[in-house]
Homo-oligomer: A and B are copies of this chain.
């Protein structure tokens, strides 16, 4: 990632514009201020047409000459300045590193710029919405998980990697997968299969499902990290590949699917570039245990947290569709949840040889 790259230049220009605005206010002897879009639940809507969760138009001001706002004002510029340095030298770093880079004790006081990382993380999110640049464009990365294999060549930071020849290991999906880092090369893929769990991914990889089916096989180790979500979104929008999601039959699995599909409330401002409204749910459906004859001892009893979560989810506008109500209500009334691995009770490779092929053949998925 060289400084010379176009994305970095654009982001640098955005940060500089922010700083120049403040400098001009100072020169005019005005109280310098930042206008930051509000990232609160009240400023989040579900856009029924685009089918994604979006940030509304509410904004808040942060003035320098305001006792309550001065610290956050200063913190925002500290983070912006560190990102500027990263962009200029063409390096990326973790949000943990950024916290240490920007942590100082102020003068002779015992005041720190930041006391904990949970103070610097929201400032990063503020900066993202204020200058309209994803965290990745600010050259920051979060922890990552996730592996991908399949009929595709990717160019990662100049290295050509053949995802058809990754053995049992797989290519680790980076945290930053923007087009200036990851480019898609030749591919024969017909769709993307995103599975919730690494162990399930390994079953599909060992059985070479992706080769027989010509699909990209990716997992995100539970709730997929940003890199995995963004990469799936890029394959969907740039390569026009359908996306199928395979998760546990429990409220958490359904929620993972929902975040992939329409984004999350927390990061609503990024839905445009992270959500895949066309993503399809291939299971485990609440009706699968009966349909695929899973013995009762493979079920897990639901707890109070599960039931509470289902109630919450039934109130989300994006779960309003009849088929989702049926799923969630069946799960609640059965009082049972099932992991993907429960299918192993029907045979080691039942999932790759019977379950999923039948689901796709019958177009038995939910949207």
Contacts and interface: CB of A to CB of B under 8 A. Distances in A.
Nearest to A294: B100
Interface in A1-18: 1
B161 A199 contact: no
A338 B326 CA distance: 51
Contacts of A297: 103-105, 112
A342 interface: yes
A93 B175 contact: no
Nearest to A89: B348
B169 A173 contact: yes
Contact of A94 (B86, B105, B161, B341): B341
Given A156-B167, A159-B167, A344 B93 contact: yes
A34 interface: no
Q: What's the number of copies of this chain in the assembled complex?
A: 2
Contacts of A339: 96, 100
Interface stretch (A21-29, A141-149, A307-315, A328-336): A141-149
A202 B176 CA distance: 11
B159 A97 contact: no
A30 interface: no
Contacts of A266: none
A166 interface: yes
B93 A143 contact: no
Contacts of A159: 165-167
A167 B161 contact: yes
Q: Which of A86, A97, A101 has the most CB atoms of chain B within a 10 A radius of its CB?
A: A97
Contacts of A349: 91
A198 interface: yes
A157 B149 CA distance: 14
Contacts of A99: 341
A344 B296 contact: no
A119 interface: no
Q: Which of A105, A169, A297 has the most CB atoms of chain B within a 10 A radius of its CB?
A: A169
A219 B22 CA distance: 43
Given A167-B159, A168-B176, A171-B166, A93 B203 contact: yes
A174 interface: yes
B143 A198 contact: yes
A345 interface: yes
A168 B344 CA distance: 34
Contacts of A143: 198-199
B167 A158 contact: yes
Interface in A66-115: 85-86, 89, 91-94, 96-97, 99-101, 103-105, 112
Contacts of A171: 166, 169-172
A295 interface: yes
The 9 A-B residue pairs whose C-beta atoms are closest, nearest first, are A156-B167, A94-B199, A159-B165, A159-B167, A97-B344, A168-B174, A157-B167, A170-B172, A100-B344
Given A103-B345, A143-B199, A175-B202, 10 more contacts: A94-B199, A97-B341, A97-B348, A101-B345, A104-B297, A161-B169, A167-B174, A168-B181, A169-B172, A171-B171
Interface of A: 1, 85-86, 89, 91-94, 96-97, 99-101, 103-105, 112, 141, 143-145, 147, 154-161, 165-176, 181-182, 198-199, 202-203, 206-207, 295-298, 339, 341-345, 348-349
